[in-house]
Chain A
Amino acid sequence: MENQGIIQFEHFGFQYTAQAEPTLYDINLTIRKGEKVLIAGPSGCGKSTLAHCINGLVPNSYPGKITGSLTVAGQDAGKLGLFGLSKIVGTVLQDSDGQFIGLTVAEDIAFALENDCVPTEEMHRQVEQVAKLVDVEQVLRHAPHEISGGQKQRVSLGGVMVSQVEVLLFDEPLANLDPATGKQAIVLIDEIQKRTGCAVIIIEHRVEDVLYRPVDRVVLMGDGRIRYDGDPDKLLCSDLLQSSGIREPLYVTALKYAGVTLTPDMRPSYLPELNLSLEQKEQVRNWFSRQPPVPAEPEREVLLRAEGVDFTYEGGHHALRGITGDIHRGEMLSIVGTNGAGKSTFSKVICGFALPQGGSLTFAGTDLSSLSIKERADHIGYVMQNPNQMISKTQIFDEVALGLRNRGVAEEEIRPQVEETLKICGLYPFRNWPVSALSYGQKKRVTIASILVLKPEMIVLDEPTAGQDLKHYTEIMDFLRELNRQGVTVVLITHDMHLMLEYTPRAMVFHAGKVIADKSAAEVLNDPEIVAQAHLKETSLYHLSALCGVDQPEEFTRRFIARDREVRL
C-alpha cells in the first residue's frame, strides 16, 4: 500500500485553552509513507501548532479543544497519546542545545531506549548502529559543549531514529545553524530519508534553503488554514509565497524581475535543474544592463579601531588572535563567521565584558581600556540575542527607563526621553502595557529601545533577526536602518547571509579568531574561498548569473538587492 496516508488530518481544528480564537481551522492534509513535505508559513500561521498536533505535544503539554480528526498510522492520535505517537513520529526540535538531554552523545541517543527499558548491552549495540548512520560515532563520549552545532543536530536526529520511527518531523531545523551547516543539515535529511524510507516533514519558513534538495510537496499555511498544498514548481510560478509573507528563492525573484515567465516544466524549485531558454537568459542579461549601477559607499571617519586585539578565555581557549579592523561612524556593518569564530567574543571585548590580553581598542580617539563597562555603555550599546535575557521589569515604560533611572536622571526628564524613544521604536501605543503581552519581535524592540534611550553612538546587536519570518525580519531591519540614517552606527552579528547582503554594505568575516575578510558583502559572498572557510553560503544569485552568462556576479547581486528594496518598500 504505497499511497496510504500515514498522517491524515480531516476537517481538523484546534483552539488553545488560553486563546479566544482557534489557531487551526478546517485542516485537510494527508502525508503519505516515504514522502518529503515542506510546511511553510509566516510566524503565527499555525505551522508549529500543526507540528505539535502530529507529535502529540498538543493536547498533552499544550491543552486545548480539538475538532475534526487526526489519524496517525491508521489510529486516532488522541488514543495513541504522546507516548504512542512518539513510537511513530520522531521530532527534532528547533533548539538543538535545549533538546540535548543526555550528558554525552551516546546517552542522548540512548535516551528513548532507556525509557523503553531496553537492556544495557542491547542498547549499546543499537546506539552504535544509529551513531554510524548519522555519522557521530567518533564523538560518542563527548559532552554537548564539546561538539559543533551540526553534530548536535545529528545527535538529535539519531536520538529519534533509534526508536525506528516512520515519520521524521523537523521543527525549524535551520534556525540555529550557520549557513553552511544548514546546507549540510538539508543534505543529511535527504540522505536519511532515502536510506530509511521514512516520511519527512520539515517545518520552515526559509524556503530557498530547504529547496537545496528537492521536496515532493510544499504545504503553505496562513492564518491557521492551508493556502496551498502541492507541487513546489507550481507554487514558485505563482506569487503565493510573496503574498503570504515568505521569502521566495532569490533566483526566482530575480527571474520575475527580469520579466521571465516561469512555468513548472522549467523546474524552478530545484536550482541545479533550472531550465532556461536562450531567450530567457538574454532577458536576464538585458535586465542586468538596464539596472542602474549601485553608487559606492561614501568615505567615513573611523569610530572604533581595533589593533591586534588578542583574547584567551580562562580555560585556555584562544578566542581572538590579533583582530585588526575599523568600524566607521554612521555605517551599518555585519560581522559573520561560524559559531566559535570569535564574533561574540569580539563584541564582549568592545563592551568591556571581557578584557583583552593584547592589542588596543580606540573609540573616537579614546583608549577604551581606560573605561569601565558602564562608561563604555554611554557610547556603545549591546543588545543580546534573546530578549528574555535582558528584560527585567514588568512594564514597558519601566524597562526602557531603567538605564536612565540608574544614571540618576530626574524623573521629569526621564518621561519625555523614554516616550520619544518609544515613538522611534513604534512602541508608543504600548507604553502602558506589561512586557508579557508582547510578541517576541516586540520584546526585541523593547530591548533595543532600552539601549537607545541611553543615546549610544554605536549599537551592537547579536543575531537581531534569529527566528523571525520575513515580515518581522523586515520590520526589525528597516527600523535599524532608519536608526542608522539618523546617525547611529549599527553593528550586526549574524548568520543570515541575506541580511548581510541586503542591509549592510560592508562585512567583516571572522574565522578561528581572525578577520579573514573585510570588504563589501557582495564581494564576500562571491568569493568561494572565503565562503568555504567561514561556513557561509554563496547566494543563489551567483549561480543564476553564471547560468545566464552575466560576467559581474557581484554587481548583479548588488543591483538585484537595490531593485528588491525598491519593490518591497
Chain B
Amino acid sequence: MINLFNYIDRPSPIHRLTGACKLVCLIAWSLAAMTSFYTPLLIAMTAASLELFRIARLKVKDISFMLGIMSAYILLNNLLIFLFSPEHGVGIYGSRTVLFSLLGPYVVTAEQLFYHLNVILKNACTIPIVLLFVCTTNPSEFAASLNRIGVSYRISYAVALALRYIPDIQREYRDISLAQQARGVEMSKKASLVKRLKAASTILIPLILSSMERIETISNAMELRGFGKESRRSWYSGRKFTSMDIACMVGCLVLMAVSLLITWRSGRYFNPFAG
C-alpha cells in the first residue's frame, strides 16, 4: 500500500532536529526558492538540498513513488509553459537568441531554455526539502510543531489525526470495495466511466458511514480525557530547541534574507544575456 505520510525512522542528524525547527526551515527555504530566479543561488541551494538528503540517510528507493509524481509534475509544468508561452524567456531577459525552430510559431531560444532551467532548479531545490521534512518528522511531532509555530492545537491535532487515519481508511476502502465487487459492482476498466462513478458511490456511502462511527468514538474518547478543556496543552513528544535547532533555523532565515536581498537589489532574474 502507498504510504502518503511516509515517516522513515533512521537515526540521522536531520531526524534529531525538532519538528518545529524543521517546519520553520522548510517554510524559510521554500520562500527563498520561490521568490528568486537568481541562478547561482538556486544552483547552490539544489546542491545543498541533495547533500542534506544524503545526510538524512534517505534512499531514492524510499521515496520513489513521490519522486515519480513530482518529476511528472515538473515535466508537465515545463511543457505547459513552453506550449502557452514559448517566448516567455525572451520577454524576461530582453534578447532573442534563436537556436532552432520547431513547428509553426514554436522557436527554441537560448533565453527560453535558460528560463526553463531556472524553473527546474527552483523545483529541484524545494522538492528534496519537502520530502526531507515528510520523511524525517515523526507524525506525532508534527502536531506539536504546528502548534509551536502558532497554529491552534485543536487544528494541529485534527491535521495529525487525519494524516494518521489515511492508511486505515485506505484499508477500509479496499475491504468495502472487494465486498461490493463480490455483489457484482464492476470496478475494473472494462466498465464505462459513468458506471464506474456509480460504482464508486456504492463504496463511498458505507465508507462515510463507518468513518462517522469512527469519528464519534474518537471524539468521545478525546473529550473523556479532557481534550479541549484548556486554551493550550503540552505535548509528550514536544522537545526543547537545541543549539543545533537554533543554528539551522538561523541559517535558513539568513538564506531567506539573502534571497530577498538579491531580489530587492538586483531584480528577480539573474541575466547572463545582458553582457
Quick one: given A373-B181, A389-B179, are A111 and B225 in contact (CB under 8 Å)?
Answer: yes
Residue of A nearest to B230 (CB): A117
Whether A384 pairs with B235 at a CB distance below 8 angstroms is no
A562 within 8 A of B: no
Interface status of A450 (Cβ within 8 A of chain B): yes
Contact segment of B48-56, B201-209, B264-272: B201-209
Chain A residues near B209: list those with CB within 8 A.
388, 391
Q: Are A99 and B184 in touch, CB under 8 angstroms?
A: no
Residues of chain A contacted by B139 (CB below 8 angstroms):
103
- Find chain B residues with CB under 8 A from A112 CB: 225-226
Question: For residue A407, which residue of chain B has the nearest CB?
Answer: B184
Residues of A within 8 A of B175 (CB): 353, 384, 389
A interface residues, tally (CB under 8 Å): 63
**SS class, residues of chain B in contact with chain A:** helix
Q: Of B164, B227, B232, B234, which is within 8 A of A120 by CB?
A: B234
Shortest beta-carbon distance, A379 to chain B, in Å? 11
In the bound complex, do residue B179 and residue A116 qualify as a contact, i.e. CB atoms below 8 Å apart? no
B182 close to A (CB within 8 Å): yes
Interchain Cβ contacts within 8 Å, total number = 156
Chain A residue at minimal CB-CB distance from B213:
A388
Is B103 in the interface zone, CB < 8 Å from A?
Answer: no
The answer to whether the Cβ of B59 comes within 8 Å of any Cβ in the partner chain is no
Asked if B236 and A110 sit within 8 Å, CB to CB, the answer is yes
A386 within 8 A of B: yes
Q: Are A160 and B234 in contact (CB under 8 A)?
A: no
Number of B positions contacting A (CB below 8 A): 50
Q: Which of A56, A120, A377 has the most CB of B within 10 A?
A: A120
Cα A134 to Cα B223 in complex, Å, equals 22
Contacts of B202 in A (CB 8 A): 392-393, 402
Nearest chain A CB to B79's CB is how many angstroms away?
34
* Stretch from B22-30, B38-46, B60-68, B214-222 forming part of the interface with A: B214-222
Chain B residues lying within 8 Å of A531, measured Cβ to Cβ, are: none
B193 lies within 8 A of chain A by Cβ: no
Hey, which chain B residues are within 8 Å of A376, CB to CB? 182
A138 in the interface, Cβ–Cβ < 8 Å?
no
| B101 CB to nearest chain A CB (Å) | 50
B172-A389 in contact (CB<8A): yes
Cβ 8 A contact of B1, one of A314, A391, A392, A393: A314
- Cα-based distance from A376 to B201 in the complex (angstroms): 23
**B183: nearest residue on chain A (CB-CB)?**
A403
- Distance, CA A376 to CA B203, complexed state (A): 20
**B181, B183, B219, B229: most-surrounded residue (chain A CB, <10 A):** B183
**Mind listing 24 A-B residue pairs with CB under 8 Å?**
A86-B226, A93-B217, A93-B220, A93-B224, A98-B213, A98-B214, A98-B217, A99-B221, A103-B138, A103-B140, A111-B227, A114-B235, A115-B230, A117-B230, A120-B236, A120-B238, A352-B182, A384-B179, A388-B210, A389-B172, A390-B176, A392-B202, A392-B205, A402-B185
Q: Which residues of A contact B (CB under 8 A)?
A: 55-57, 60-61, 82-83, 86-87, 91, 93, 95, 98-99, 101-104, 106-107, 110-120, 123-124, 127, 159-160, 163, 314, 348, 351-353, 373-374, 376-377, 381-382, 384, 386, 388-393, 402-403, 406-407, 450-451, 454
